[in-house]
Amino acid sequence: MLYKELADVYSELEKTTKRLEKTEIISNFFKRVLVGDIRKVVYLLKGSIYAQWEGDKLGVSERLIIKIISESSGINQSEIEKLWKKLGDLGKVAEEVLGNKKQSTLSSKKLTLKKVFENLRKLSSFEGSGTVSKKISLVVELLNNANPLEARYIVNTIVNDLRVGVASGVIRDSIAKAFDKDADEVENVYNLTTDYGETAELAMQNKMHGNLTPGKPIRLQLAIRTESIEEALKAVGKPAQCEFKIDGFRLQIHFDGRETKLFTRSMENVTKQFPDVVKTVTGNVKGQDFILDSEVVGHKDEIYLPFQNISQRIKRKYDIENTAKNFPVEVDIFDVVYHNGKNLMNSPLSERRKLLEKIVNQKSGKIILTRKIISGNEEEIERFYSEALQRGTEGLMLKNLEGAYKPGRYVNGWVKLKPVMEPLDLVITKAEWGEGKRSDWLSSFTVSCKKGEEFLEMGKVGSGVKEKNEGVKFSELTKELRRLIINDHGKTVEVKPKLIIEVSYEEIQKSPTYKSGFALRFPRILRVRSEKDVEEINTLSDVERIYSRQRYRK
């Protein structure tokens, strides 16, 4: 397959914002793709060359891309930078300057999808001396043989800024439509493979089954919010398994018989950041292989410490051993979905818990099973709830004892009970530069919820951010957001919707000012949710639900 065919699809996708039209375009394209190319096509449509959980970076900065475009086009780097400032899109820069370049048709070859994919994959494989020159050579080779439109999308793929608006839901629906499958069936397979490329390949071959494989992350089961113990018991049934809801970060633990791997809920591999957890699990969990679901939390004197105390460990790349000593963690295990070669997802929760009690050697402060009781008595559960809050947890989880494990699903089998008001996980979509002593920082942040593939603004927040000391800092948010800027309007910048923050507030109000139709009264940033994916932020439906219940409470 020629890369031009994919570039033409990108171009079509850019012309519409409608989800159904995007699905139609992609599904029609899938029907023309050979089985050997379908994985590559799916990855590239998502603006990547890897499955989400592989996490490899191409290691090509915007500055290096400018140098590459300059070398391929023969135009001075300073001119390339001026054009970038004008267009705000390095892909469009490549398209324009290479479109003006007079190339010999004899020297250029038609780019195949395979060639583009292979060259881009090689970019992350280089180490040591000569790495930069090797990367330049690989990309220049592609650009020298690309037509202007192809060059645009090659560059935007490399800088992770494809701009064609293809989210996971569109890929799922396109696979279903192209290969005559049910969308839920496609999602069920994806929940196990966590790879839409593999899922598309299976659908194309009419093999709609995904296998659990230790070492390859799964999508985790999620819990529905409830307002009371009575409501929670109605949802899960009596008696229920009631567990402490820990204020840590979700960690799936995989052992394949040789090595232990750790993944966050968004499938980021954090094994290197937590050597202490690897050591603890290796020495205290029995099994030839297994996949465990857990929460990792800071812990001191039998009190659970707030999430921010250990959140900095997730992104730590250097000085890991000292950080582990300064911020020790406890692993609270609450489920097992695979053990000794057997998929346990359809086994009842009660059986999975009994197995955990057999295979986990608990050590306080290191590795334990999440504290639980089994009860259908509201007064007993209320006492357990009070104890949980006194111990520094977020509240309780209530679970159906006969329930299966449902990856990637919000189902009534699991519900959570937390004190009101419920904080929101929102994504930053705009930010403003500060004034005076804060002029070097972004200090006001526009936050948005989600409706389908669209992000809807809910207002601005700046409270809760610190200049110094512990907690969320202006300097840290600015550093993260700088690399996400896509448009600059004086003091205001638009950013890619990537950085998720947890926001508290006094109440939700109706507001015609913002596209969501709502605004937050006295919003405050609680923490950065670096372990979460943008697909997991609160939806407009969540906001409407909280608003309606808030009015009822008044």
3-state secondary structure of 184: helix
Measure the CA–CA gap between 46 and 305, rounded to whole angstroms: 37
Interior CA angle at 370 toward 364 and 374, to 5°? 130
Burial class (CB in 10 A: 0-12, 13-18, 19+), 542: middle
Helices 131-145 and 113-122: angle between axes, nearest 10 degrees: 160
Q: How far is 509 from 89, CA to CA, in rounded Å?
A: 37
- DSSP annotation of 123: G
Question: Of the residues 22, 177, 216, 245, which is catalytic?
Answer: 245
Report yes or no: 250 and 266 within 8 Å, Cβ to Cβ: no
Return the number of other C-beta atoms located less than 10 Å from residue 472's C-beta. 17
Q: Which phi and psi angles does 494 have, rounded to 5°?
A: -95, 140
- The answer to whether residue 245 is catalytic is yes
Binding residues for ATP: 243, 250, 265, 295, 334, 416
* Share in percent of the chain as helix, strand, coil (round to 5): 40, 25, 35
Distances 377 to 34, 133, 223, 492 between C-alpha atoms, Å: 58, 68, 21, 53
Read off the tokens for 431. 């930010």
Q: DSSP string of 135-150?
A: HHHHHHHHHHH--HHH
Measured CA to CA, the distance from residue 315 to residue 271 in angstroms comes to 11
The upper half-sphere exposure of residue 188, i.e. CA atoms within 13 Å in the direction of its Cβ, equals 12
* 3-class DSSP assignment, residue 310: helix
Return d(Cα 157, Cα 513) in angstroms, integer.
35
Backbone angles phi, psi at 295, to 5 degrees: -125, 135
Compute the distance between CA of residue 335 and CA of residue 401 in angstroms, rounded to an integer: 12
Q: Return the active site residues.
A: 245
